[in-house]
Structure 1
Amino acid sequence: MKITIVAGARPNFIKIAPIIKSIQKKENEGANISFRLVHTGQHYDKNLSDTFFEELNIPQPNSNLEVKSGSQSQQTAAIMVAFEQELIDNPCDLVLVVGDVNSTMACALVAKKMNLKVAHVEAGIRSGDMTMPEEINRIVTDSITDYFFTTSETASENLLKYGADPKQIHFVGNVMIDTLMQNLGRIQKPDFWETYDLETGNYIILTLHRPSNVDEEASLQKLLLGIDALANGKKVIFPVHPRTKAILENTNIDFKNIIYVEPQGYLAFMYLIKNSFAVITDSGGISEETTVLGIPCFTMRTTTERPETTTIGTNVLVGISIENLEKEFHLFLQNGKRNGGIPNLWDGKASERIIDILLTL
């Protein structure tokens, strides 16, 4: 079985790392399986791309399509054109896509038009928010997928509602957690730990990148000033996404607690998360890692495609207003951490299950 694995953006790299390890293990045991890794180039900043390959021991891609940035349509179209040629030059039996970025949808479409089977890892997750490009990517990808690998029972149920064949749905767990568990012993202090006198349990991590939170300069300033105030003397470490950095470059606010840092590699970022007091984010994936690590997480969105992080885990959905965040954060300060658990099959073995299943199909 020849598998072409597609990765295009930071979350993809974290998800493919354990899948590749599982394929290599089976290959070494004599199984008839091999892979070709294609990097679409959707994320091309070193801290959002190359660093993850180095730190997670992902082999260098067999091909880099180097599509880089552009509008949603421009980027998707460029990926499709380049990936079609990639598959013509390098035939395979199966295309495996992960997550919900433009590369996921674009490469799934190309594969199906070339009559190839498609496997989607992290299939079935839904936010219900059609203003999110990722939600459209999820729906389109799942509408043409042959083999669905889900992170939760809820995701599997979502696919059934959409009319997917139950025999094609495989609840395997969360490959993001595979990567976390495989690397917990390797996480490392970031270079600035001593510079800013950081102490375990005494700082907050902040990440913001969604258009609803960062595209309007005035609302972004209001949000940051509110977070700076609620930190109440605790340092707020803010790895600034390139999208957000471009907007902040024109501001001259003197924050008391917020500290800008560069985007971090996986090992340093997980060290920061694991040792933090709390996390404020608008990311979906971070709420999975905080759930497993038992770190309070406040997600600045009105919806989540990972409801298990709020029902079972440590995540609280706070909407996009600073007032809601302040309310929920003060409740946390009053009452302490909520008792969170770890969702079913988030045990570090999801990628092994995926490859075992693919070998039987």
Structure 2
Amino acid sequence: MLVYEFKLAGKQQQFNLIDEAIRTALFIRNSCIRYWLDNKKVGKYDLSAYCKILAKNFEWAGKLNSMARQASADRAWSAISRFYSNCKKKVSGKKGFPKFKKRGHSVEYKTTGWKLSEDRKCLILTDDFEIGKLKLVGTYDLHFYQIKDIKRVRLVKRADGYYAQFCIAFARKIEIEPSKKAVGLDVGLTHFYTDSDGNKVDNPRFLRQTEKALKRLHKRVSKKFCQGQLQSNSYKKAKDKLARKHLKVSRQRKDFAVKLAKCVIQSADLIAYEDLQVRNLVKNHKLAKSISDASWYQFRCWLEYFGQLYGKITIAVPPHWTSQNCSNCGEAVVKTLSTRTHKCLHCGTVLDRDENAALNILALGLSTVGHTGTNAWGENDLCLDLVTDSDKLTR
């Protein structure tokens, strides 16, 4: 599946109608959650049928395309099924009980409610909102794909404008020569990661670099806010600048994660990394901001995506004791977080703490099955098959 994104160019009136469509999709999603709460035995198809009832009861809800209403119901069912799955797996902590959303940022169409112009440079929305023709601004060329291959079109609202995402059914596979190399990665805060060869990548700390500017913009927003009154245009402009600055930080993180993950995948045939539970790590309030700024989970998602794309093996191993055990003899050498050098009194090994952990991670990846991939991309869990005639793991 490919996702091509274009920025939309149009009139302000058209963007206001997109906002109305987004609010309608949010209403349908929340209504489906309410319907599920009142009727616990309903399933996915019951929610899709309930969309038709909502369209009859609310005239403005009927303006949204029928498949777009079903896509909103699918979002509600995705939250419900995730909750059921976490309960079945007995996930520790919160199970992710479906909640009502206050704000929506996107509306999704399936195969109807939209069409492309003849030159495929404009998107035309054909539902009863009458949004009309919007120009697609971007470098991708949609002529390479059939219209029937475009399974979904998503309109997304961001701080700097409106975007259209095209989800295209396309089996993408890239073949490169094997490097005959295996590597283990230990992520950290001082360095973004240290591999088993001793190579280090500095942590960019995008949020820390922008923190002063963000604080200044936050002060401007708070000064212009009027309690219990209609907000002025200057408040809206200050709020927009703050949102754009946060959007820039998030894009910097994504760009860094994508490029670094692709580089790692292309340089090795097997990549082992820690199966970290980031949501538990951020409970440490002294390190929560630094951990969130590092975006380890996003890096892992892209690592697994490119691993599948290039046909490489990615293995997530349990992180327990990888920093404490000696990579040479296996003896436990208890260290505090401030101790950055591993010194084993049993065998005399002296290594950087992170490099020692990376070697332990690689050894675990080679010696145990672990698990490959994750459900971060909304797909089913991938399985590992252990090939009997070799020690290779295949996805």
Under TM normalisation by the shorter chain, which class is it? Answer: under 0.3
Q: Identify which of structures 1 and 2 has the higher relative contact order when contacts are C-alpha pairs closer than 8 Å and 6+ apart.
A: 1
Question: Which of the pair has more CA radius of gyration?
Answer: 2
Structure with the bigger percentage of strand: 2
